[in-house]
Structure 1
């Protein structure tokens, strides 16, 4: 496959796209719904170890690591989240099928027909498919088209022989078991990546690629750089604690939503200047704009009225530092998402240019 052309910037501002996509595909295929992120965090730790970097877990289960600069340098923290949308078992129906409760905010219609895994307490998983209670058009006709999709009309049909709640319980299924959606990650010949959970595993892979670039090229850093991987962002409190105490700037890196009336693009990096929590820091945003100009990047600016980030959570928790939000453009957010390698490359380029000063 031919990778898209890199931005016309200095070599030290490029990330390795082959490495980035390799890590990202493995992350996407590692289930990590909010509250069930251990395997994904361990994968990140293994990558860090291979790079010769030691990560540190917070008591809440988040992960952070540091790339030091000269003594007295300002300390900037980049945050991303590895937790994703998902569900938990709310009830076992008399039919043996499962009622689900959401993890994170999404429209139920976006998971109808999706393959899922139920993660049992003993470590096994059971496959299934999200279907609605009137799924067959040959049985229900117009009733199917008029059915509202919600937690009362969608259920998980298990890929096991069960016709009763007792038989499902005998399989080991319990109320409270985590349910993950199959990512169905595909990297196309044209450089598009389509998958669930690009939000926000793309940023995590970019952080690892930036770390690799800094270490291998011995990039001189203008800032001491902390990377913070939260594990509860999808439910609103990921970065409310655990941000390094010495942080002088916080830059959240998350997906940039695309749609009518939005300025973001699948091939670009975006600076979000305002979301549902209000405006982000103007001066920090301008410093990121300056870095984008130095790197000759097409930096989009955008506003997301139905969006919140780890920077929002950190500020609400009393974080005393300027905060900003950047990220690659992602289509169909919180559904079956898509971005382009151009956007991953541009986001990594912006981070490298910023930290190199």
Structure 2
């Protein structure tokens, strides 16, 4: 977000500290324990005692909200935490409407829970005809989110995609009460990522079709890389240990991502306005995640292996294997300062430590 530079957070280790391969789930687990083991145990204990929280993720589209949440769950344990994406919920509801049974169940739920200024029938029409520029009324979104929370049971939740505009801000202030989490702590998680990073993330993003875990062919590879000899293209294989397709599911790109950030420029500007307004809000705890660190200061704040490299691939026909070539990647942040983008795991260490702090652990 332009003109929103958050404080630098250090994850720097000592001179003799071990190094970790952050694209490897096993190594990543060791990394989280090494960097934030105390906080992880405190959060686990908090959740195992039946406590929950509501974290509202705020940042531009493709700023890493889903990635950070899933890695947080990977580090802390996903049995007591859920990631709720408003966009995914709407897409899921779209599928539900496609079957007679699903449509009946959805209408029955909305009749019992929904209160708003348009009819349920009209809401369903909007869902079926939605596009990237049309937003559902907030009252409908809240009902759909409540439906998803009821499916999940009592868990801590990270909410992704709400509030989406200035009109929804007042609802977000009382979100936990609206969702029945009246006594649980809630906090905002602000995410700052240079636009140059978002652009590259979009162009090379890949998502597992089974678990929806996102990765990036150029910037955030998985441990295993595949090569399609028919299309002459490389692809990532899902590395989420809890996914049924672990090590087998081919990750796929999303339609339109190849066009980069300009196709979502209007959305980026609205997201920035929402974040600026909520940053001034009093009475709500806040977490600040910063993706980029200036090249000139990187050695003071992070370990070298926590910096995002870029990857390219070569198919070795003789060995039938993909050769991975790692190269340095420097971008200019929104203030035009040469910077490194941090790997998501390093940002998640900051999220873990700050979450423990706002929970008073």
TM-score range, shorter chain: under 0.3
TM-score scaled by length of structure 2: 0.25
TM-score scaled by length of structure 1: 0.25
Of Structure 1 and Structure 2, the greater helix share is in 2
